[in-house]
Chain A
């Protein structure tokens, strides 16, 4: 039973990290990039390529992976978001971010191959079971990511600028803030964090070009469950999703895990549309 718990927590941590990455871009641009899970996919594959393929040391592999993630985030903002936001009030970024993500996914499939490939062990470890690093690495990374973002938003100038843009874009601009640059920076940050999540969970997911779509969906559900815009909610939503998936599979059978997990999500959203930690939408009258 403990293994079910730890496995569910690890999976939940990965979902939670993806949900947090959704929030990073949503906060500044009000855009939910549907290529969010693809940041993790790219992180896993680049990490495996640099460490196993080019034999870089792990720290260099991690840095390289974060750099590529940052570039991917920047490209997403530049190619799929910036012009769409300028030229349309409609939510066309749903299509543009998804299209770019699919292009990247197909490119990775052509370059890396379509079969999952191994991800390196980051630490020498003889024993598996409950202490297996494939479970603990995503959990630790998720905790660090959530904590680090809280510190960033509350205690750094740049973080406070992010919050200001998030709360009132117009007022921030009136105060002279370059909100476009903040938005770009948020996508760079999202790409970096997404790549980090893929790197941390690489042993759990393998380096797999197909991972992005699954994660984009699961992360979005976690974000919606926790309340879009809330980091705490994203993490709780992810963990709830992960545990629900693991325990549903354990008690009712793996055939029903998605049906029950998503069914429960639908129930939560019907009864509490703003999610567990989101604020209800207030409208001036």
Chain B
């Protein structure tokens, strides 16, 4: 009995020694096996509260739906996707803190967002240093730079495309050249002023009136009258604030000045119409929008957009006010990342980056994206179409703007 016990004890020690010697060799394999089955983590920084929250909530809806669809299809590389969402409240400092938390505490594989340009800018350096893919949802042109921020890609148009398409419509469609620009004094408003002036200058046009008014200015009548006195025959209006947009349109309407207005896509939102003293003030207002939301001659939305809306028809209601494109914009983030991972066959950042740069076209309901080593914007100019603001149909689509405006 004792002998047996000693014998087994000797065997146990030997096994233990062998196991101890083999453990360090086996650990990477165990870790690798665990990693291969662990979820792929997507960090998402989105301003669910604070300024522009309506838009961000629609973006978040699209993001979560795309994630659900990918997981329902078996995930990526046999791994499920897991979103870790943080509400930045539209504050750049919070956006940076949450981005760091996601990168260094949660060890995410990529960052989606932030969803406002002002928040994106300070996070770019952090994500680049951490060497992770970032799919941003800010439109300011300067945010994308494949040399400075090699892992950052954009999931929407860049603002410059709004200005190019808008100025083209102003000069060629409306045939107006006496342009007044009324912007707010936010960072976007100031930048938009420079950009629109730049595009106009390239076409040989100098604005007859320009102003960056206080974003909280409660009455814009004076600015409208000054633009009219300067001889303007078209007004450009660039502000992310729905209140600011509505005040300018109210002042224009109350002064009985039916000048065409070219404005940021936010002007298409129902919230702006609700703030107007009369819904008639929404007439003769045009905006660059997206082919994904433009109706055909029969009043139908593009098939991919309609499919998205049909799939989630019981849930999209609260987000329609922000526009279909906001939901589709959020939908782009996981989908673009997924396209890169599938092509790369790994979540390795450099491999995914190179994969995204080499995919000929990523076709999404928002529109086609084509990235290259020198272009991480991806969205084509012809994905944008000028529409009339008051042409919003119950299905969320818009009619393309008439060539000569409303007269």
Contacts and interface: CB of A to CB of B under 8 A. Distances in A.
Given A114-B52, A115-B54, A214 B216 contact: yes
Contacts of B214: 249, 254, 257-258
A114 B216 contact: no
Contact of A114 (B51, B222, B254, B277): B51
A96 interface: no
Contact of B221 (A3, A115, A118, A253): A3
Given A128-B254, A254-B211, A110 B49 contact: yes
A129 interface: yes
Q: How large is the interface on A (under 10, 10 to 19, 20 to 34, 35 or more residues)?
A: 20 to 34
B9 to A, nearest CB: 66
Nearest to B47: A114
A115 B271 contact: yes
A162 interface: no
Interface in A117-137: 117-118, 128-129, 132, 134
B140 to A, nearest CB: 20
Interface-centre pick from B52, B219, B242 (highest chain A CB count, 10 A):
B219
Contacts of A255: 185, 211-213
Contacts of B225: 3
A255 B222 CA distance: 13
Interface in B339-389: none
Contacts of A66: none
Contacts of A250: 222, 226
Contacts of B222: 3-4, 7, 246, 249-250
Pick the most buried of B211, B216, B223, B274: most chain A CB atoms within 10 A of its CB.
B216
B404 interface: no
A34 interface: no
Interface string B196-226: 0000000000000001111011110111011
Interface in B30-54: 49-54
B275 interface: yes
Contacts of B51: 114, 210
A45 interface: no
B314 to A, nearest CB: 22
Contact-size category for B: 20 to 34
A133 to B, nearest CB: 11
Contacts of A132: 254
Contact of A254 (B217, B218, B243, B275): B217
A204 B250 CA distance: 11
Interface string B256-287: 00000000000000010011010000000000
For chain A, what secondary structure do more than half of its interface residues adopt (helix, strand, loop), or is it mixed?
A: helix
Contacts of B271: 115-117
B50 A204 contact: no
B54 A113 contact: yes
A10 interface: yes
Nearest to B216: A214
A124 B214 CA distance: 30
Nearest to B90: A114
B49 A114 contact: yes
A249 B213 contact: yes
A255 B246 CA distance: 20
A31 B47 CA distance: 35
Given A118-B274, A249-B213, 13 more contacts: A10-B218, A114-B51, A115-B242, A115-B243, A116-B246, A117-B274, A129-B254, A132-B254, A204-B218, A210-B51, A211-B216, A250-B222, A258-B214
Interface of B: 49-54, 185, 211-214, 216-219, 221-223, 225-226, 242-243, 246, 254, 271, 274-275, 277
18 contacts: A7-B221, A7-B222, A11-B219, A110-B49, A114-B49, A115-B54, A116-B271, A116-B275, A128-B277, A129-B254, A201-B218, A205-B218, A206-B246, A249-B213, A250-B222, A250-B226, A254-B211, A254-B214
